[in-house]
Amino acid sequence: MKFKLRHILTAACAAVAASACASQGVPESRTLTLGAYTTPREAFREIHRDFKKLWRERHGEAIEIRESYLGSGAQSRAVVDGFPADVVVLSLEPV
């Protein structure tokens, strides 16, 4: 289960990063901003390490991943208030 979840999250991050970077033209540096709840922090750090390596292999450049971890309620309010996350992962169900 852990292995499968890791691959799913890596693929999701790759898809979001590719679409976010492609839609902006060629920026000076590649940055992906994650806003997430605190529980999966350690898992995401492992995923980010693997994703950065994969990104460099496929695109020949580095990508920076900025992370913000808060409780789901606080993180959702931060995003609503303008936190510029490219990827948001919350434990809350949509309303």
- Whether 41 is covered by a domain: the verdict is yes
Question: Distance (Å, rounded) from C-alpha 53 to C-alpha 18?
Answer: 15
Other beta carbons within 10 angstroms of residue 18's beta carbon come to 13
Q: What is the CATH number of the domain that holds 85?
A: 3.40.190.10
Distances from the Cα of 51 to the Cα of 2, 80, 82, angstroms: 16, 27, 26
60-79 tens-digit pLDDT: 999 999 999 999 999 999 99
Give the per-residue pLDDT at 64.
96
Q: Number of folded domains in the chain? A: 1
- Whether 17 is covered by a domain: the verdict is yes
Question: Distance (Å, rounded) from C-alpha 57 to C-alpha 24?
Answer: 21
Give the per-residue pLDDT at 29.
72
- Whether 95 is covered by a domain: the verdict is no
Question: Distance (Å, rounded) from C-alpha 45 to C-alpha 29?
Answer: 20
pTM for this predicted structure: 0.66
Give the per-residue pLDDT at 16.
56
- Whether 75 is covered by a domain: the verdict is yes
What residue numbers bound the domain in which 58 lies?
Answer: 2-89
Could you say which residues of the chain have pLDDT below 50?
1
- Whether 74 is covered by a domain: the verdict is yes
- Whether 94 is covered by a domain: the verdict is no
